[in-house]
């Protein structure tokens, strides 16, 4: 699309490592922000631990190296912060104060600064100093307790680090909201983004089901929340997998017609709760039917009958999937394949491709800072 990128002219100093902060700032970079990745001398730990992850969430950024424990480098950072729009950091609580780069210090030299801290449990509370990772945050947020099999123990099998990514999205949302508020007030603000809080917010729809049952005097179990009739993943005759999501009555009836499934013609099953009570029976009847025919045939039948379905794509299927390909979800950038920013916007072109080397932009960024002194 033509035009100026939505966040063109915005300068962000990124002090984060690994996933939540870097994912947030990479998305902001895709929207046109200048993101300066401020790395410690050893570089972001993800460079060595997870090089593919590092490349995915740091494309399009500039890298400088500063030892913030050294007075000269700290002074250089303060000079950059004085002219920045956003600082985002992912240290454990208290570290920025010890380094002398906390919000209070930076706000004094740049009142319009939006300062975002991303941490596991937040800047306050009994667990604020606990170390952790996605699984730990998901457990505290209630997500692990309602993951896995409806009748099974707590699990956490999403395959995607949703805690880290939920925090990244709330960092993006609140940074942009704070910048909008700054337009009106001229002042920035401090944002305390906790991964646990962010994921708890995503648990809200399930919590609502639980709370409604509580207020009605019923005990709501994990199975009550997760169990859905005619909803799941099924293996086809050619060893592929297909998802079916015939939750609503009209879709359930179309599924029966499309598969020839018998024994479920009772009009009482037009009621969602009645169907849910027979979830196991429905799955038992559906499984051998789906297993008797190849994926391509079921895809043709379900599309014709308007039954909710989709393939279970492996990662190496994404670039070949006809729908995802038509949407430009996976793009070739040089020899790499990347997941593009998911929403087309004016001023945004091809995905950023360049992954910065450690300190690659040192002379450019620090030179600019000296020129403006």
371 or 18: which leads in pLDDT: 18
156 or 31: which leads in pLDDT: 31
CB 56 within 8 A of CB 340: no
Q: Residue 353 has what pLDDT?
A: 86
**Is 90 exceeded by the pLDDT of residue 270?**
yes
pTM of the shown model: 0.92
* Mean pLDDT calculated for residue range 94-118: 97
Tell me what the pLDDT averaged over the chain comes to.
94
- In the chain, which residue ranges form alpha helices assigned H by DSSP? 20-30, 46-49, 51-58, 71-81, 95-99, 103-109, 134-141, 162-185, 195-202, 204-215, 222-226, 249-259, 272-277, 279-291, 295-305, 322-327, 362-371
Instruction: Pick the catalytic residue from 151, 164, 238, 316.
Output: 164
**Is 70 exceeded by the pLDDT of residue 369?**
no
Kindly indicate the confidence band of residue 81, based on its pLDDT and cuts at 50, 70 and 90.
very high
Kindly indicate the confidence band of residue 150, based on its pLDDT and cuts at 50, 70 and 90.
confident
Q: Which domains does the chain have, with CATH numbers?
A: 11-202+330-371 (3.40.50.10540), 241-311 (no CATH)
* Mean pLDDT calculated for residue range 306-313: 97
Residue 183: burial class (beta carbons within 10 Å; 0-12, 13-18, 19+): exposed
**Is 70 exceeded by the pLDDT of residue 19?**
yes
Cα 210 from Cα 198, distance rounded (Å): 19
**Is 80 exceeded by the pLDDT of residue 371?**
no
Report CA 195 to chain centroid distance, whole Å.
Answer: 11
Q: Residue 148 has what pLDDT?
A: 86
Cα 336 from Cα 292, distance rounded (Å): 38
Q: Residue 155 has what pLDDT?
A: 87
Active site residue 316: no
User: 35-49, 231-245, 295-309, 344-358: lowest mean pLDDT where?
Assistant: 344-358
Q: Residue 205 has what pLDDT?
A: 93
**Is 60 exceeded by the pLDDT of residue 78?**
yes
Q: Residue 372 has what pLDDT?
A: 63
Q: Residue 157 has what pLDDT?
A: 76
**Is 60 exceeded by the pLDDT of residue 1?**
no
Output the CA torsion sign for 76, 78, 84, 88: positive
């Amino acid at each position: 699309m033509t035009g100026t990128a939505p966040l063109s002219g915005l300068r962000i100093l990124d002090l984060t490592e690994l996933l939540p902060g870097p994912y947030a700032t990479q998305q902001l970079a895709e929207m046109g922000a200048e993101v300066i990745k401020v790395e410690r001398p050893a570089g972001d730990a993800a460079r060595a631990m997870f090089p593919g992850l590092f490349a995915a969430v740091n494309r399009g950024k500039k890298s400088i190296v500063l030892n913030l424990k050294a007075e000269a480098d700290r002074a250089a950072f303060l000079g950059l912060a004085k002219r920045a729009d956003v600082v985002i950091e992912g240290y454990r609580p208290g570290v920025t104060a010890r380094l002398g780069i906390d919000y209070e210090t930076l706000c004094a030299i740049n009142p319009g600064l939006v300062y975002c801290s991303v941490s596991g449990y937040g800047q306050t509370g009994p667990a604020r100093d606990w170390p952790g990772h996605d699984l730990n945050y998901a457990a505290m947020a209630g997500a692990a307790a309602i993951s896995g099999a409806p009748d099974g123990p707590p699990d956490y099998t999403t395959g995607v680090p949703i805690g880290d990514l939920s925090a990244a999205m709330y960092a993006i949302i609140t940074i942009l909201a704070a910048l909008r508020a700054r337009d009106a007030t001229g002042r920035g603000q401090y944002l305390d983004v906790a991964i646990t809080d962010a994921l708890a917010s995503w648990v809200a729809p399930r919590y609502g089901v639980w709370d409604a049952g509580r207020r009605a005097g019923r005990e709501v179990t994990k199975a009550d929340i997760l169990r859905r009739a005619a909803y799941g993943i099924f293996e086809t005759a050619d060893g592929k997998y297909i998802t079916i999501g015939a939750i609503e009555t009209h879709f359930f009836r179309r599924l029966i017609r499309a598969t020839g499934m018998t024994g479920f013609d009772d009009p009482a099953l037009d009621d969602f709760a009645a169907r849910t009570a027979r979830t196991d029976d429905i799955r038992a009847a559906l499984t051998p039917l789906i297993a008797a025919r190849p994926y391509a045939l079921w895809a043709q039948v379900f599309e014709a009958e308007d039954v909710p379905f989709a393939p279970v794509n492996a990662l190496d299927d994404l670039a070949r999937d006809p729908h995802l390909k038509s949407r430009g979800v996976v793009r070739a950038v040089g020899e790499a394949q990347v997941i593009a920013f998911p929403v087309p916007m004016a001023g945004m072109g091809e995905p950023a491709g360049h992954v910065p080397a450690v300190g690659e932009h040192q002379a450019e960024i620090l030179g600019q800072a000296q020129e403006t002194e």
